[in-house]
Chain A
Amino acid sequence: MIPEPLKNELQRRVAQAVTNREAAVDVMKELQRHYGWLTDEAVEEAAELLSLTPLQVEELATFYEMIYRRPVGRYVVHVCDSISCWNMGGETLLTQLEKLLGTKVGGTTADGDFTLLPCSCLGNCGNAPAVMVGERQFGRVLPDQIQFILSELRSSNP
């Protein structure tokens, strides 16, 4: 169950929209922020807020790259695997990250801190290879830099 203040905030967002479902992506994102991922419960709650069926929400949730329908770690490490990053060593970076985190692509570290996912172009092509951790972008990511970024995040408060 989501707390009352969040529910009220989302109801206000829906009320501002031209039609209820226009707010669908915003509502899914906020619920995901609350739960860490879009849980089955969140899908039901989104449906109620948006006057949709859970199936209609599911259809949207599974469509978008940044809506997670499975549990993820505290931070999701998105490694761009599109052409500009591929051209500048993106594949090597992804392999290094697998080693650093001790998990395969798609997996989550044992401590639940990081989930490693490849992703489509981050629009940071001049700074390839690019990585997005949570909502923060990093460019020209060298192996020792990513190690530093990850350890900073790991020691930060939840």
Chain B
Amino acid sequence: MLCFRILFMEQVLFKHNRPGRMTTFDEYRSEGGFVALARALAGMSPDEVQQAVIDSGMRGRGGAGFPTGKKWSFVPRNLPGPRYLICNCDEMEPGTYKDRVLLERNPHLLVEGMALACYALGVQHAFIFIRRGYEQAADNLRLAVAAAHGAGFLGENVRGSGFSLELDIHQSAGRYICGEETALINALEGIRANPRAKPPFPAVKGLWGQPTVVNNVETLANIPSIINGGPAWWKGLAATPEAAGTKLFCISGHVVRPECFELPLGMKLGEIIDGPCGGMRPGSTFKACIPGGASTPYLTKLHWDVPMDFDPVAKAGSRLGTGGIIVFDQSTCMVAATLNLIRFFARESCGWCTPCREGLPFVRHILERIEAGQGQAGDIDILREHVRLLNHAFCALAPGAMGPVDGLLNHFEDELQEHITAQRCPFEGTHS
């Protein structure tokens, strides 16, 4: 039953993929690539493209899940001067690699999606902000941009429509905070990438003070299918009536096939792990997972039947985030896992605001001493207090960083307590 469903699940993002290599521009074209753009330019107004995205129910795939069409609608109309679209490919959230796979396999989808978004938004100059380490993805993207230029889908007066667009690629040098949209704008401008105060929101005052939309790679890569198949059809690709579209889930950890899959949004956690992932690897039983990248609280076996969609995962006390599912088996010490996550966030804090700069190292210190067998009676209360305190930070980094700590307190308090009582880590030497 399960195999049957997966076999016949409709894909839109991985539909044109070839095994082990990038799909060529000609292959993409021959399978319907750039038809959506040509159709939109010939027969749809920018507002109609935007309306289709609103009607599709698309929610941003970068982590926050904000409705994409709504984000676009915040851009003021008839404001003089340029406006910009930035594609956020600063995929630095640990456990997340979907955008890399997408760009390594089919970068044309992003180019077409960005062209459609720019047409809808009245943008003539767009940027793709790509993280360090994604050299192959950046190379493929350069090929795709050049091919689209060559075929007249980018540049001056695309297909005689009067619409013009230039796409620039910016390769970053590695820093997690650059994925936060206002920090990303600073990074792109060549300014130290601390986040900016909001409001004004980027839609009003973004790149070089102009209206700017920042969207994730996967979000933009979906636009061609929304235009091609229509919003209702696209929405219906999901597994539940509440969800919309497909989602790239990238899995890592103790499963048989830790890979990136395009699956219907709203598929149950257990179905994803037992189905496409091939179940837990031999000798492993499921203990917990992070559902959507490092900043999302743990889910446990209790959540096996939670539909992996924005609202149901939020209701379960976590976040869908990026769809980067990290699976832990019974040998994993959740205190040690949380310590690893907090070390990452403390290191990646940009240092701009005090709660984040000072608070995260303090939380790291507390977890370090618990894991080292030196935990003290009040430590659990201190951790709980800091989940609350670090919500009052300048940007989302610190609250996100405390997500796993929150999950640890909610689901594994007994494990924490055991560390403190026994004055040692009960998992010492068991983890791979």
Q: Are B96 and A18 in contact (CB under 8 A)?
A: no
Q: With an 8 A cutoff between CB atoms, is B115 at the interface?
A: no
Q: Are B337 and A83 in contact (CB under 8 A)?
A: yes
Q: With an 8 A cutoff between CB atoms, is A111 at the interface?
A: no
Q: Are B189 and A21 in contact (CB under 8 A)?
A: yes
Q: Are B173 and A67 in contact (CB under 8 A)?
A: yes
B173 partner residues in chain A, CB cutoff 8 A: 25, 28-29, 64-67
Contact residues, A108-158 vs B (CB, 8 A): 119-128, 132, 135-137
Cα distance, A82 to B293, chains bound together (Å): 11
Residue interface mask B77-105, A partner, CB < 8 A = 1: 00000000000000111111100100000
Q: With an 8 A cutoff between CB atoms, is A22 at the interface?
A: yes
Q: Are B332 and A87 in contact (CB under 8 A)?
A: yes
Known contacts A84-B95, A121-B92; A126 and B337 CB within 8 A of each other: no
Q: With an 8 A cutoff between CB atoms, is B12 at the interface?
A: no
Cα distance, A37 to B357, chains bound together (Å): 28
Q: Are A23 and B190 in contact (CB under 8 A)?
A: yes
Cα distance, A78 to B379, chains bound together (Å): 34
Known contacts A65-B174, A82-B94, A120-B92; A22 and B432 CB within 8 A of each other: no
Q: With an 8 A cutoff between CB atoms, is A10 at the interface?
A: no
B93 partner residues in chain A, CB cutoff 8 A: 121
Cα distance, A121 to B258, chains bound together (Å): 16
Q: With an 8 A cutoff between CB atoms, is B252 at the interface?
A: yes
Known contacts A123-B91, A126-B250; A83 and B326 CB within 8 A of each other: yes
- Which one of B136, B170, B252 contacts A125 once the chains associate, using CB atoms below 8 Å? B252
B342 smallest CB distance to A (angstroms):
10
Cα distance, A100 to B103, chains bound together (Å): 34
- Which one of B96, B136, B171, B258 contacts A26 once the chains associate, using CB atoms below 8 Å? B171
Cα distance, A66 to B174, chains bound together (Å): 6
B258 partner residues in chain A, CB cutoff 8 A: 125-128
Contact residues, A10-39 vs B (CB, 8 A): 18-26, 28-29
Q: With an 8 A cutoff between CB atoms, is A88 at the interface?
A: yes
Return the chain A residue nearest B347 by Cβ: A120
Q: Are A60 and B190 in contact (CB under 8 A)?
A: yes
Return the chain B residue nearest A83 by Cβ: B94
Q: Are A86 and B250 in contact (CB under 8 A)?
A: no
Q: With an 8 A cutoff between CB atoms, is B188 at the interface?
A: yes
Return the chain A residue nearest B189 by Cβ: A22
Return the chain B residue nearest A64 by Cβ: B173
Return the chain A residue nearest B348 by Cβ: A120
Cα distance, A88 to B94, chains bound together (Å): 13
Q: Are B94 and A120 in contact (CB under 8 A)?
A: yes
Q: With an 8 A cutoff between CB atoms, is B39 at the interface?
A: no
Q: With an 8 A cutoff between CB atoms, is A50 at the interface?
A: yes
Q: Are B326 and A21 in contact (CB under 8 A)?
A: no
Stretch of B49-57, B127-135, B231-239, B306-314 on the interface side: B127-135
Q: Are B252 and A84 in contact (CB under 8 A)?
A: yes
A86 partner residues in chain B, CB cutoff 8 A: 337, 340
B251 partner residues in chain A, CB cutoff 8 A: 126
Residue interface mask A45-87, B partner, CB < 8 A = 1: 0000010000000011001111100000000000001111011
A23 smallest CB distance to B (angstroms):
7
Q: Are A120 and B344 in contact (CB under 8 A)?
A: yes
Q: Are B191 and A21 in contact (CB under 8 A)?
A: yes
Q: Are A83 and B290 in contact (CB under 8 A)?
A: yes
Q: With an 8 A cutoff between CB atoms, is A107 at the interface?
A: no
Known contacts A25-B190, A83-B340, A87-B332; A123 and B252 CB within 8 A of each other: no
Cα distance, A31 to B337, chains bound together (Å): 38
- Which one of B92, B190, B259, B347 contacts A126 once the chains associate, using CB atoms below 8 Å? B259
- Which one of B97, B190, B253 contacts A87 once the chains associate, using CB atoms below 8 Å? B253
Q: Are A123 and B190 in contact (CB under 8 A)?
A: no
A133 smallest CB distance to B (angstroms):
11
Q: Are B175 and A64 in contact (CB under 8 A)?
A: yes
- Which one of B135, B191, B294 contacts A82 once the chains associate, using CB atoms below 8 Å? B294
Please indicate which of the listed interface residues B97, B175, B176, B189 has the most CB atoms of chain A within 10 Å of its own CB: B97
Known contacts A120-B92, A121-B92, A125-B326; A63 and B193 CB within 8 A of each other: yes
Q: With an 8 A cutoff between CB atoms, is B66 at the interface?
A: no
- Sampled A-B contacts (30; CB under 8 Å): A18-B125, A19-B208, A20-B190, A21-B190, A22-B188, A22-B189, A25-B171, A25-B173, A26-B171, A28-B173, A50-B190, A63-B175, A64-B132, A66-B132, A66-B173, A83-B94, A84-B253, A87-B332, A88-B253, A120-B92, A120-B176, A121-B92, A121-B344, A123-B92, A125-B94, A126-B250, A126-B258, A126-B260, A132-B133, A135-B135
Nearest first, the 8 closest Cβ-Cβ pairs linking A and B are A21-B190, A65-B174, A64-B173, A125-B252, A82-B94, A24-B190, A84-B252, A121-B94
- Contacts A22-B170, A120-B174 aside, 13 further interface pairs with beta carbons under 8 A come to A19-B208, A25-B170, A60-B190, A82-B95, A87-B254, A87-B337, A120-B344, A123-B96, A123-B134, A125-B94, A126-B251, A128-B258, A132-B133
Interface residues of B (CB under 8 A from A): 91-97, 100, 125, 131-136, 170-176, 187-193, 208, 250-254, 258-260, 290, 294, 324, 326, 328, 332, 337, 340-341, 343-344, 347-348, 350, 432
